[in-house]
Structure 1
Amino acid sequence: MNNLHDMGGQQGYGAIPIEKDEPVFHSEWEARAMAVTLAMGAWGRWTLDESRHAREKLAPREYINFSYYERWIAALADLMVEKGLVTRAELESGKPDPAAAKAAPPLTAGKVAVVLQRGGPVERKIDAPPRFAIGQKVRSSTASPKGHTRLPLYARGRLGEIVLHHGAHVFPDANAHGLGERPQHLYGVRFTARELWGPDASPRDSVTLDLWESYLEPL
């Protein structure tokens, strides 16, 4: 999705601040934002890719001005309304509708540690053999999808080299839109800095991206 969130390689936003000994959470509400996001995701009404796409769909003005966890909460609110877990009126009032059906949450405090440790593995087994081999030269797609994609704008149409094969993984471009997992082979593709940024970039630098098979074409 071509939107403000795809900021890789863009200029004019100033230096990236690096906070020494940065804490995991800067305030209690950030920890609560993460907890609520995990708790609501446990209902299974959306996938991880759908949640990422919900953040991408935030209005550009909101995306650029919100902090990291403010984006999480804003996108979560949109998903909760879209999937029927709350109504817009409940969000605005901060109170549940007395007539709404009650249900026990699937993620209780005692399950949190196990759920966090398990994570959300996305590697899958497929019958199709990998199309590309390590060391092979490829060119990335120039497609400009309207929906979710993990191929950043700065790396489209660029020449790279396969340096890793990760096996098959859930394809986020489909999974973010409720079209199923549709797993594909996933590769580590190395691009030289000059291929990405031009002759002013250092000849010693490179960027390695994890890219799905359908993003790539052989040379």
Structure 2
Amino acid sequence: MNGIHDMGGMHGFGPVKREDHEPVFHHEWEGRVFGMFIASQVPVPEGKRYKIETMDPQQYITSSYYERWMQACIQACMDAGVLTADDLEARMSVLRDHPGAASPRAEDPERLDSWQSRIRAPRSIRRESNRQPQFAVGDAVRARNIHPVGHTRLPRYVRGQPGVITRFYGFHDVQDHLLPPGTDAPPEPVYAVRFEAQTLWGNAAESNGALYIDMWERYLEPAPEMRGES
């Protein structure tokens, strides 16, 4: 989908600020939100990332990274009927009147150990497949000019632009493929594609600059010269 979250290549937002020795979490509440996001059992058919991407644009821009995650958790719980707007407002009212009040806690060591083991367990993201990749290293390709419904990792600023395959990563799950709950998406080839900076942004870009983007095969089509077009 197209939305304010797809900010890559957009102007007017200033430089990306790099923080030396950046901590994993800047505040304790961010770690709690991360835990809620990962361990929540509330079903979200469209995925929590989709909830983030459908936030009000003004709210999205003015929210921090984990504030967006928290909003996604809240919206998912509301959509599932686990939480209502009245429930949320009642709790927020208590905190406004008593900001120093202790938050309720539920201790479940067994569940905690289970989730920590799951998060820390090494696992390969590669998948096995009998199909043949459509492209090879060195092939000229073009990013499809498509606008999928739901979450997609195809940046708007490369759609319709030519590039070259520089690496083949094997087969991986498609993370923006919407399927019924409990259904796995068929794995697809993933490639690293090189896009020349001036192709994307014109003469304002450095002459020798390039951008490498990892892309699923569904995002790509043969360049005109590969199809024998003029």
Shorter-chain TM-score: what band? 0.7 to 0.9
Q: Does 1:57 align with 2:54?
A: yes
Q: Percent identity?
A: 37
- How do 1:140-179 residues align onto structure 2 when only pairs under 5 Å count? 140-175=143-178
1:117 Cα deviation from its structure 2 partner: 1.4
Return the alpha-carbon distance in structure 2 between the equivalents of residues 56 and 180 of structure 1.
Answer: 22
Equivalent residue pairs, number: 208
Specify whether residues 155 and 146 from structure 1 end up closer, same or farther in structure 2 by C-alpha distance, changes over 3 A only: same
Q: Distance in 2 between matches of 1:54 and 1:33?
A: 15
Larger Rg: 2
Residue 68 of structure 1 corresponds to which residue in structure 2?
A: 65
Instruction: Please report how far the alpha carbon of residue 121 of structure 1 lies from its aligned counterpart in structure 2 after TM superposition.
Output: 5.3
Matched with 1:123 is 126
Distance 1:208 1:154 in 2: 13
In structure 1, how many angstroms separate the alpha carbons of the residues matched to 2:138 and 2:115?
42
Residue 128 of structure 1 deviates from its aligned partner by 1.5
Deviation at 1:76, TM superposition (A): 1.1
Paired residues of 2:78 and 2:85 also in contact (CA < 8 A)? yes
Give the equivalent residue in structure 2 for 1:14: 14
Relative to 1, partners in 2 of residues 1:84 and 1:181: Cα closer, same or farther, differing over 3 Å? farther
Normalising by structure 2, we get a TM-score of 0.80
1:19, 1:175 → 2: CA distance? Answer: 35
Aligned twin of 1:204: 208
Question: What is the distance in 2 between the residues matched to 1:119 and 1:83?
Answer: 31
Q: 1:58, 1:107 → 2: CA distance?
A: 34
Segments of 5+ residues of structure 2 without an aligned counterpart are 93-106, 224-230
What amino acid is the match of 1:111?
Answer: S
Deviation, structure 1 residue 208: 0.8
Shift in CA distance, 74/166, structure 1 to aligned 2, threshold 3 Å: same
Task: Look up the SS of the partner of 2:83 in the other structure.
Answer: coil
Query: Displacement, 1:201?
Result: 1.4
Are the counterparts in 2 of residues 148 and 176 from structure 1 also a CA contact under 8 Å?
A: no
- 1:215, 1:190 → 2: CA distance? 14
Amino acid at match of 1:199: N
Contact 2:163/2:195 (8 A) holds in 1:
yes
Note the aligned Cα RMSD (angstroms): 2.7
Q: 1:213 — aligned with what?
A: 217
Partner amino acid for 1:215? Y
Instruction: Please give the per-residue CA displacement for 1:177-210, whole angstroms capped at 9, x wherever unaligned.
Output: 7574132111111111111111231122211111
Contact 2:42 2:77 in 1 (8 A): no
Conservation of the 8 A alpha-carbon contact between 2:195 and 2:211: yes
1:4 to 1:54, Cα distance in 2 relative to 1, 3 A: same
What stretches of structure 1 of length at least 5 have no aligned partner? Answer: 96-103
